C-alpha cells in the first residue's frame, strides 16, 4: 500500500508544523512530501518540489488517485469519503493561497472537513491528522 501526503509549505508568518505531520505519517506508514514555493526547504532531499505541476509530472505518482482538500469549495465531506485502498496522493493546499489554480484543473476528488462550527480556516497539520486517522479507521483497522 502506498499513500502520500503532499503539503504546501506556507510563506513567512504562517506556521507549518512539519515535525508533527512527519510523526503522524510515520505512525501510519505514509510518505510525507512538500511543495515549497518559498524556497525554504532543500529541494535535493527528493521529497520537496517547488510546484504542484512538478508533483503531477513525477512518474512515481503515475496511475495514482489524487485527493485534494479545500475547506471552502470541497464537494465531499471527509466523513463521507471512501478512501482508495492503494496508490493515493492526498494534497493539502496552502492556507495562504490554496492551490493557486481553478478547482477544475485539479482532476481528482475535492474534499472538505466537516467541523462543528463549519470552519474553513483549517491548518495543514490539523487536516493531515484528520486524513490519516479517518483513513486508518476506515481501511486499516484490525
Based on the structure, what is the number of domains in the chain? Answer: 1
What's this model's pTM, rounded to 2 decimal places? 0.89
* pLDDT computed for residue 115 by the predictor: 73
- Integer Cα distance of 96 and 3 in angstroms: 25
Q: Quick one: 66 exposed, middle or buried, by C-beta within 10 A (0-12, 13-18, 19+)? A: buried
106's grid cell = 485539479
Q: Tell me the per-residue pLDDT of 44-78, one tens digit each, with 9 for 90 and over.
A: 667 888 889 999 999 999 999 999 998 778 889 99
- Integer Cα distance of 131 and 25 in angstroms: 10
* Domain residue limits at 93: 3-140
Q: In degrees, to the nearest 5, what angle opens at C-alpha 128 toward C-alphas 122 and 134?
A: 105
Torsions phi, psi for 43 (to 5 deg) = -65, -20
Mark out the alpha helices in the chain (DSSP H runs): 18-28, 52-57, 124-135
pLDDT > 70 in the chain, percent: 86
CATH code for position 65? 3.40.1280.10
Q: Quick one: 48 exposed, middle or buried, by C-beta within 10 A (0-12, 13-18, 19+)? A: middle
> Rounded mean pLDDT of 114-132?
78
> Is 131:81 a contact under the CB 8 Å cutoff?
no
Amino acid at each position: 500500500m502506498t499513500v502520500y501526503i503532499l503539503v504546501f509549505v506556507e510563506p513567512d508568518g504562517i506556521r507549518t508544523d512539519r515535525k508533527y505531520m512527519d510523526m503522524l505519517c510515520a505512525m501510519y506508514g505514509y510518505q510525507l512530501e512538500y511543495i515549497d514555493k518559498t524556497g525554504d526547504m532543500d529541494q535535493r532531499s527528493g521529497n520537496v518540489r517547488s510546484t504542484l505541476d512538478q508533483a503531477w509530472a513525477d512518474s512515481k505518482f503515475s496511475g495514482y488517485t489524487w485527493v485534494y482538500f479545500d475547506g471552502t469549495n470541497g464537494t465531499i465531506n471527509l466523513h463521507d469519503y471512501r478512501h482508495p485502498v492503494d496508490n493515493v496522493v492526498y494534497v493539502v493546499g496552502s492556507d495562504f493561497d490554496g492551490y493557486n489554480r481553478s478547482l477544475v484543473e485539479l482532476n481528482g476528488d475535492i474534499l472538505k472537513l466537516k467541523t462543528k462550527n463549519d470552519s474553513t480556516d483549517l491548518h495543514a497539520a490539523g487536516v493531515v491528522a484528520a486524513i490519516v486517522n479517518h483513513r486508518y479507521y476506515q481501511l486499516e483497522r484490525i
